[in-house]
Structure 1
Amino acid sequence: MNQDSAQRHCAVVTGGARNIGQAIALRLLQDGYHVIVADIVEPEADSLKAAARQVDLADAGATQRVMEEIAERYSVTRLVNNVGVVAPALLEEARLEDFDKLMHLNVRSALVCTQALLPAMKARGMGRIVMNTSRVVLGKEARTLYSATKGALQSMARTWALELAEQGITVNCVAPGPIATSAFWQNNPPDSERARRIIDNIPLQRMGQPDDVAHAVSFFCDERSGFITGQTLFVCGGVTVG
């Protein structure tokens, strides 16, 4: 992709170095965008390494500096606020330091990145912002902190959708259900009764894959999806239906 093409079609994916974020970044790369991954670690995929920016997205100042540098070089019209950590704990065990960590990384980074990249979208009269949230916004045990952050992202997305609609910028959420990532298997060991119970409760009778989420994000990022905003699409194998 030449420089002119990159200027026309640039996407930033936070937390895109592995798992769902990497699948999203690779799909957008396949869709023809110049993709910039922002993550604390280097991307696992070789095709994403050259343009990647290593940054601790929980550090607001560092994140702002990186996003401003990107905004100076590229006209970013797609932003996927994907980064997130879980910190599972029952209510009585939830720690205030984890609350701060999750709010700073999962929520504040989305605000910082969007504010930095928004001027280019407004200037072009077109933009796509996608939040990667979670089906836990509907409730899940041991997810007090995580669900709070994902619920905050969905609430912000609905507000931004109204504020930015006149500029041709859409804001939507993709909310994954059980997806087979390293984080999922870390919290739910494959041979555990908990993992078996989760899979048995999925109507489609299989775990979702990172590519399932990436496909939904790709749809919302498409220029032809311009009449959809403020919405949440659950990619959950039917878990949220019942």
Structure 2
Amino acid sequence: MTQDPSPRHALVTGGARNIGLGIARRLREDGWRVFVQDIEEPEDPALRADAQRVDLTDIAATTAALQHILAQGPVTCLVNNVGIVKPASFDAVALDDFDSIMHLNLRPSILAAKLVVPGMRTAGGGRIVMNTSRVTKGKIDRTLYSASKGAIQSMARTWALELARDRITVNCVAPGPIATTAFWENNPEDAPETRAIVDAVPMGRMGTPEDVAQAVSFFADPRSGFITGQTVFVCGGTAVG
């Protein structure tokens, strides 16, 4: 990766709240000019000037929004973070949910990368970071979510090989139990199953968006140019055993 332009431009999808917000804040602290794309306005007012409210399942709207960002300079750090869960047991999985999950969790990653990679090549390199999940190792009630996140991790390894010659690294962070509103919506706080999740974390606590952002910051660093195709589980040790 060549000497970074000033300011360096980063894009975080789904960066309005929760893990995405933590990532956007950290990259901003690291010196990036951070663009956020989300269907909601960022909770942090400091991120709103470069935020776009856009439905990332809408290809035309997302393309137009991305082109507006790229008109201001190349994006040399792309964090594909946006995603939804829709928990369901095997017997309750609705095939109608397949498109909605894949069109948000997976397709925007491809669209964004196709548009930003040419600028990364011109700049002499770049960073792509995918937010996947510990569920790729298996979790009850996550058929479609785990399918989407597993696809992202597999796709990232392919991109790592294809884009290495362009000095573009592609890596994944895979969060475990992170204390966000999304986690509590999908894991009721008073449910025995939720208590079991929390009690099983070897580090003895839930993770935070800042924990995930730390891993993203590492992968985004210009000095991390010899690390690609990797997945770091930010899970307090839950993925170990």
* TM range, smaller chain: over 0.9
Match of 2:55 in 1: 56
Q: Shift in Å at residue 68 of structure 1?
A: 1.6
| Structure 1 CA distance for aligned equivalents of residues 91 and 54 of structure 2 | 32
Match of 1:133 in 2: 132
Q: Shift in Å at residue 225 of structure 1?
A: 0.4
Match of 1:158 in 2: 157
| Structure 2 CA distance for aligned equivalents of residues 44 and 74 of structure 1 | 25
Match of 1:228 in 2: 227
Match of 1:33 in 2: 32
Q: Shift in Å at residue 74 of structure 1?
A: 1.8
| Structure 2 CA distance for aligned equivalents of residues 196 and 14 of structure 1 | 30
Q: Shift in Å at residue 106 of structure 1?
A: 0.5
Q: Shift in Å at residue 125 of structure 1?
A: 1.5
Q: Shift in Å at residue 32 of structure 1?
A: 0.4
| Structure 2 CA distance for aligned equivalents of residues 194 and 125 of structure 1 | 48
Match of 1:202 in 2: 201
Q: Deviations over 1:157-191 (max 9, x none)?
A: 00000000011000000000000000111111222
Q: Which runs of 4+ in 1 moved over 6 A?
A: none
Q: Shift in Å at residue 233 of structure 1?
A: 0.2
SS at match of 2:150: helix
SS at match of 1:141: coil
Aligned residues: 237
8 Å Cα contact 1:68-1:117 kept in structure 2: no
| Structure 2 CA distance for aligned equivalents of residues 161 and 137 of structure 1 | 19
Residues 1-242 of structure 1 mapped to structure 2, 5 A cutoff: 5-6=6-7, 9-242=8-241
Could you tell me the TM-score, scaled by structure 2's length? 0.97
Q: Shift in Å at residue 192 of structure 1?
A: 2.1
| Structure 2 CA distance for aligned equivalents of residues 127 and 135 of structure 1 | 25
| Structure 2 CA distance for aligned equivalents of residues 68 and 91 of structure 1 | 40
Q: Deviations over 1:40-69 (max 9, x none)?
A: 011010000011011100111211111122
Q: CA RMSD in A?
A: 0.9
Percent of paired sites with the same residue: 60
The gaps in structure 1 that reach 5 residues or longer are none
| Structure 2 CA distance for aligned equivalents of residues 191 and 155 of structure 1 | 35
Q: Deviations over 1:54-88 (max 9, x none)?
A: 11001112111111221122211000000000000
Residue type of the partner of 2:179?
A: A
Range moving further from structure 2, 188-197 or 82-91: 188-197
